[in-house]
Structure 1
């Protein structure tokens, strides 16, 4: 880089720090804590999209989640879906094995679960399979539709569904799915340990009928904990389980039973799909879809020029400057997701499939973790970085689940003085006068913090957190990593990098409110590697038979949310709106849950994308 350019870069970087520190030094502005709208309102101005009078803030309540149809559908047509990512997609294109959101966005086009849910996240009988439940609530009998077939024409069978459970429960399984949802199936633990050759609680009744008996009846069985993704046994049945996730049948020529089928893949860059004429909901209206990776820095240009017709997750920090883009309609919904800061407290024990806590972990002192939460001002971060379209997160059950999100729990509020006192009382003092605290034992304390690249805000935001922690006397070293490398080091494959102490990441949560899959001791996704007896008790109670009583379940999850505020193995930073700009030629598209709008209905009113004026 030329000297003049380098100087300019340093100037802009330092300017961003100044702006960030200025933004986060006060408490002015409109609060959006714990809900999805600004408190002071300031309604929508006519002819100005979603721009609000209230200081440039936006509210997710000012967006629709179903596309307005303009014009009549033409026959056929193709669209391009922009997968916004600053790294290549990994390419594990099977629901039973994938772990990253980019792969999930591709999977949504060509494969799906056998069960469908409504706007309250309850399984319905409108999906590719229907179900009946026994009187004791433990045995579910599923019937797969006769017209549900794999893309190669073979029927999706009860054996395929059974086979998915057998693969996930197999000792050689290398994916992230095996957790309490599976151990609740009768006979699963004996099968997993090698004591049995089959899973006694799963029975194939006939080609299209499957029965699963669970050890304990739980409300989660109706709201997301049933594994509904079959695995094509006629393709993978003779393959060693350890080889499936890396096989060409997953990476190069994946199969599903969804509305489109994969025609070709450019690894990490794009996927070309054509319509599945035999789709069980009905032949898709479009001829095909191209999924292509676009960077956050080019997403606006791609939308304006018609390079992409729609994306599912527009960078919300770019919305204010592009709210009036003439050729798209912005759809919006409260995201089933949150960003968070996590603390590494142990490692993953692959042999026993559970976390192994480290009593000597650098971040093991709860006072240190509590102080680091108090030091950051996420209310102002949401307003100044995201114009209110991300907002201060307080607990680990997001407002996408309003029945269980405890809006009265304020988490740990921004209070640097409280943070300093916590550290003082715990014995973290600056004993050598360098401005940074040492450990209570008088040893140097350097905290290694990793975060993900992506978009203009990613690094300034991570550096804000570093600066906030420095103001309370903590020395924090930041490393920015691309998506796949980041999750490898956090422990996605079960190998935790001992050099990582703190990390910033995000979770998309499932339709089931039960957080066991992220924070249970047997959950691979418990990247903090935290184990706590009270946590395990509350998680178990939250999915117990007693939890069919809504008030009881709410009480349990309120207790759990408070436990996580007290113990802070991780802390939430921001709740999120998801924005999806859709080209005006696109018809019959929606985002969010329970809309009743499906991808086979997607159509276009013109042959080519409409360009911005």
Structure 2
């Protein structure tokens, strides 16, 4: 696809191809079970919403836990709607006060922690769950995001816990209060026009019951108990997860509001409206990090859905962006969308070699930016399934500009070498490798994984560094281990993808917000001027003034280069014809309850 056409495509509505058609939408025969089988390409880390940050763990928690609000599954542009509340909240005091009224009769899934009693969801459960994120002992990666919202009293509660070593969950705070059993009131220090998006992130801010957390203690990552449509039945770490329909889930029915021009959404609504959710009984998830076995598992019919077609097989499966004839013959469906994400090389700003704000340190990072051939990465490693990123803000979010051009989108080897020369990174001993300005050895260390896609990217990265005369080595570990090391600041360089979970681009800017250092801010970047822009962004309504601040944040980001942005990915999912209703959600992670399986179409295996 030509660049101009692709840009126009990204600027328009989400594209997806034809609708899967099955013979019948009727419930299965008694005793039959509808099972969705697919694979994660990265291992999970656990299932406590307050402690996880990786997307694959959060996919699971998004189906187990529930927040007050949710996104309309089919509406584009995106629309919030009630989930565990009776109606949308009462908003007052210029977006500083929000009052939510919960639906009575919503229950947590059965668990021994409840001692045989049904446990109803109450407003206090949301108070407790949000407070947990502020508990210093948990080191929640989401604490900074919620702190930015300015809940009155929660920051002070956390600061006291930092002094005393004890977090007082029973102390009432003005900013997050259960007025009665079913009424929750939120009060913020400042106006937050986009505050409600927080309450649609069920993967991170879903309600937990205090007695469950206290019963399982340090093992809470293994025991997710929520009010959502699915329950965890089996977990073999980094290998297999099985979830089943929550037998006590309340009556919820398929409904949505797709746009009038959204043919795919309208067809899904016409077909599935009124069906009780969830429509499937069981989800079986394997963890297959290598691309070839994941592709073969789908090809062989072992999985119903291939979530994220491996780039290596793009030319086989979707040549020229079109479904291959052999797959079309089998009734396989294609879903192709631009991802609201950005891939990043993270530089540890506290590392003595690549970090820091001195001119020579900035020059080293900018030289690595200019010396990275993104066009080659897109062509060879990503098989043209991506576009070059110009900033950290992803497509489809406020703040993103398709017309933006920055140094992050350039490849200029001569300029990169000149930067290194000017700032004293030269080869003094004639071995072909540059030393640091003070003559000390220079060795770059990239934390990496062992899967095939990463190895291809590693090879390209090393060639780029070799061309600059920068000696480099790889330090390979499993992804969860690398994430832990990065969180603790025990790394030099790492490569990761960052996905937006709201339609607002400011959530991605948390990656460069100083107070989020060591949490969402993986690079540990701190710059007062950028923090000031971030604070101003929170209070402004969407519009030209706010866009100007996004542009200013991008200028500062490019100038200091705490990250090297690479690409925004184009994602292709494939499914068999017995899967009905699939539509990749761009920002939220829950979708299992909206798909159906027609087991009568699945081939019989012996």
Specify the TM-score bucket, using the shorter chain as the normaliser: 0.7 to 0.9
**1:501-554 C-alpha deviation (Å, 9 max, x unpaired):** 22111112221321353222222121211111111011111112xx11511111
Contact 1:150–1:256 (CA under 8 A) maintained in structure 2: yes
2:108 maps to which of 135, 145, 150 = 150
C-alpha spacing 1:32/1:419, structure 2 compared with 1 (3 Å): farther
Q: Give the corresponding residue for 2:526.
A: 531
Contact 1:306–1:611 (CA under 8 A) maintained in structure 2: no
C-alpha spacing 1:234/1:480, structure 2 compared with 1 (3 Å): closer
Q: Give the corresponding residue for 1:423.
A: 420
Give the Cα separation in 1 of the matches to 2:376 and 2:212. 50
Q: Judging by fraction of residues, say which structure has more helix.
A: 2
Deviation at 1:457, TM superposition (A): 2.9
Alignment of 1:207-606 (within 5 A): 207-224=181-198, 229-236=205-212, 238=214, 244=217, 246-247=218-219, 249-251=220-222, 253-277=223-247, 278-281=249-252, 282-295=276-289, 296-323=291-318, 324=324, 325=327, 326-346=330-350, 365-401=361-397, 404-405=400-401, 407-412=403-408, 413-454=410-451, 456-491=452-487, 495-497=488-490, 500-511=491-502, 512-514=504-506, 515-523=508-516, 524-544=519-539, 547-593=540-586, 599-606=592-599
Give the Cα separation in 2 of the matches to 1:36 and 1:279. 43
Q: Please give the secondary structure, in 1, of the residue aligned with 2:439.
A: coil
Q: Does 1:165 align with 2:134?
A: no
C-alpha spacing 1:489/1:593, structure 2 compared with 1 (3 Å): closer
**1:543-582 C-alpha deviation (Å, 9 max, x unpaired):** 12xx115111111001111211111000211111222211
Alignment of 1:127-146 (within 5 A): 127-129=83-85, 130-146=88-104
Q: Please give the secondary structure, in 1, of the residue aligned with 2:476.
A: strand
Deviation at 1:415, TM superposition (A): 0.5
C-alpha spacing 1:70/1:362, structure 2 compared with 1 (3 Å): farther
In structure 1, runs of 5+ residues without a counterpart are: 1-28, 39-58, 348-355
Instruction: Using the TM superposition, name which of 186-195 and 360-369 deviates more.
Output: 360-369
Give the Cα separation in 2 of the matches to 1:374 and 1:94. 40
Give the Cα separation in 1 of the matches to 2:500 and 2:558. 18
Contact 1:81–1:311 (CA under 8 A) maintained in structure 2: no
Give the Cα separation in 2 of the matches to 1:602 and 1:585. 10
**1:225-260 C-alpha deviation (Å, 9 max, x unpaired):** 787624333434646xxx74x31x430x32122222
Give the Cα separation in 1 of the matches to 2:567 and 2:378. 7
Q: Please give the secondary structure, in 2, of the residue aligned with 1:192.
A: helix
Contact 1:406–1:561 (CA under 8 A) maintained in structure 2: no
Contact 1:123–1:223 (CA under 8 A) maintained in structure 2: no
**1:469-507 C-alpha deviation (Å, 9 max, x unpaired):** 21122111122322112112222xxx222xx32211111
Contact 1:338–1:398 (CA under 8 A) maintained in structure 2: yes
C-alpha spacing 1:120/1:554, structure 2 compared with 1 (3 Å): farther
| Corresponding pairs, count | 540
Q: Please give the secondary structure, in 1, of the residue aligned with 2:69.
A: coil
Give the Cα separation in 1 of the matches to 2:5 and 2:431. 36
Give the Cα separation in 1 of the matches to 2:18 and 2:174. 44
Deviation at 1:263, TM superposition (A): 2.3
Q: Give the corresponding residue for 2:35.
A: 79
Contact 2:355–2:361 (CA under 8 A) maintained in structure 1: no
Deviation at 1:192, TM superposition (A): 0.5
C-alpha spacing 1:32/1:402, structure 2 compared with 1 (3 Å): farther
Deviation at 1:89, TM superposition (A): 2.6
Give the Cα separation in 2 of the matches to 1:36 and 1:156. 45
Deviation at 1:381, TM superposition (A): 1.5
Alignment of 1:109-128 (within 5 A): 109-117=63-71, 124-128=80-84
C-alpha spacing 1:210/1:407, structure 2 compared with 1 (3 Å): same
Give the Cα separation in 1 of the matches to 2:5 and 2:365. 21
C-alpha spacing 1:114/1:310, structure 2 compared with 1 (3 Å): farther
C-alpha spacing 1:464/1:204, structure 2 compared with 1 (3 Å): same
Alignment of 1:85-100 (within 5 A): 85=41, 88-90=43-45, 92-100=46-54
**1:273-324 C-alpha deviation (Å, 9 max, x unpaired):** 2222424524422222222223422112211222111143232332222332
Q: Give the corresponding residue for 2:115.
A: none
Alignment of 1:29-48 (within 5 A): 31=3, 35=7
Q: Give the corresponding residue for 2:159.
A: 193
C-alpha spacing 1:62/1:390, structure 2 compared with 1 (3 Å): same
Give the Cα separation in 1 of the matches to 2:317 and 2:600. 25
Q: Please give the secondary structure, in 1, of the residue aligned with 2:599.
A: coil
Deviation at 1:609, TM superposition (A): 2.9
Give the Cα separation in 1 of the matches to 2:358 and 2:486. 15
Q: Please give the secondary structure, in 2, of the residue aligned with 1:148.
A: coil
**1:357-378 C-alpha deviation (Å, 9 max, x unpaired):** 9986999711111110101111
**1:308-361 C-alpha deviation (Å, 9 max, x unpaired):** 1114323233222233223421212221221111111128xxxxxxxx999869
Give the Cα separation in 2 of the matches to 1:97 and 1:36. 38
Deviation at 1:585, TM superposition (A): 0.5
C-alpha spacing 1:238/1:136, structure 2 compared with 1 (3 Å): same
Q: Please give the secondary structure, in 1, of the residue aligned with 2:530.
A: helix
Give the Cα separation in 2 of the matches to 1:72 and 1:367. 62
